[in-house]
Amino acid sequence: MAEPRQELHASVATDFGEGGAARRIIGRRRTADAPLLMTNILNGDNNVTVARLMLALMVLWSHSFAIYLGDEGIEPIAQLTRGLYNAGNVGVACFLILSGALILRSWESSSSAWRFTVKRAQRLYPAYLVAVFAGAYIVAPIYAGLDPWGLLRQSFPTWLGANLVFRGYAPVDQVFEGAPIAAINGSLWSIWYEVFCYIGLVAGVSLLRQRFVVGCWVVLAILTAAKIYADLTGWNPGFGIIGAVVGWPLLWFSVAGWFVTGMLFHAYRTAIPRSPLILLGIAVAWLAATWLPSQQLTARILMDVIYTPGLAYILFYVCSTPKTSVEMRARANDLSYGMYLYAFPTQQIIRAELGPGQPFLVYFALSATCTLVLSIVSWKLVERPFMAGGYAKAAQRARDAQAKLHQR
């Protein structure tokens, strides 16, 4: 029996290759030499790394309003969208959309499910564990006035068990008293959801095989319908033990929708044209859906349908511009993950130390600069060495060099 990834690859080649069904989805007018949206995403001639760094900065920018001013509703994108979204929402959504496309591609190119899992673990675990350890056993004791060694001895097994499954756990968390948000790191929730998306991808490909793309459409339709129903009725399901294990269901309606949309853009990579006219159409549709309805609820329902696919198109359009020298430098130092991990606690510490009396832009610039420094340290000392067995390879190179020296 063929491997699930082989069947998926064969299905994609059949359904989305030359003369395939996906080519017919966009009509007969598309010519063979028309530019495709996803071509540069696949061939490497893109600016994905810079885009991810900008998305991390968008999240930091949005959180600056929440942490420093206590109100993300005054953030410019929130104002532009009548409070439907803010820069943080957009940034996280784009992260998950990109992840859906790139992780599906990673699955297709991996030699086995085990190799895929190892690559994901090497990318996520090291920096994550260092960041949550620093929050739990350095930041928390300082601002809660606790003995760090005593706290470590009492809680480390629980801390380790919870964070091996990406729960963002700290034994003492609400330590920034008097701040609009007291938590040490309010950004970690999305990593838990993203890991479950990876699990869903592997399960979906393994179970559905050549019907995987159809399954993605079904899941996306269900998620969209559930979100519309929740917005119309105020439905906020908990789902009992299921919700406790996998996360807040209402949030899943958005998060899973973003990830699945990214996978579908990758699946239809030979069918979606890259056109500024489509960009213009998305912008007009967004503005009309947001501002023409007299009631915000109507605008929200309309955007439930068109927001995510439109955002995905804009994101991949921007990312697929030919790579620049800035992108090349960014690939040598991929700082977006570290920025995302360290921004929130850095912002909390700066507010706690300087107080809320500084100009907002000074606070944002200082937060961004300090977070950038931490992300550089994280990349050079933690992330890069662990990716693809960096420390093991470095040790082997050292042993090889020592052996050559002795041979002389």
**pLDDT in tens for each of the 408 residues of the chain?**
455 555 555 445 444 443 333 333 333 344 456 799 999 999 999 999 999 999 999 999 999 999 999 999 999 999 999 999 999 999 999 999 999 999 999 999 998 999 999 999 999 999 999 999 999 999 999 999 999 999 999 999 999 999 999 999 999 999 998 899 999 999 999 999 999 999 999 999 999 989 999 999 999 999 999 999 999 999 888 777 777 777 788 899 999 999 999 999 999 999 999 999 999 999 999 999 999 998 999 999 999 999 999 999 999 999 999 999 999 999 999 999 999 999 999 999 999 999 988 999 999 999 999 999 999 999 999 999 998 655 445 445 445 555 554 555
Residue appearing with tokens 């090889």? 400
Query: Is residue 312 classed as helix, strand or coil in its secondary structure?
Result: helix
Tell me the backbone φ, ψ of residue 360, rounded to 5 degrees: -60, -45
pLDDT of residue 236: 86
pLDDT of residue 220: 97
Eight-class DSSP state of 33 = T
On whether the CB atoms of residues 141 and 151 are closer than 8 A, the answer is yes
Closest residue by Cα to residue 309 from 331, 292, 285, 325: 285
Q: Tell me the sheet residues that pair with 36.
A: 273
* Rounded Cα–Cα distance for residues 63 and 75 (Å): 9
Gyration radius from the chain CA atoms: 23
Closest residue by Cα to residue 92 from 167, 189, 182, 170: 189
User: Which H or E run includes 398?
Assistant: helix 390-407
pLDDT of residue 394: 46
This prediction's pTM: 0.88
* Rounded Cα–Cα distance for residues 58 and 92 (Å): 9
User: Which H or E run includes 133?
Assistant: helix 113-134
**Helix/strand/coil percentages in the chain, nearest 5:** 75, 0, 25
What residues contact 75, with CB distance under 8 A and at least 6 apart? 61, 62, 65, 86, 87, 88
Q: Measured at the alpha carbon of residue 135, what is the angle toward residues 130 and 136, in degrees to the nearest 5?
A: 100
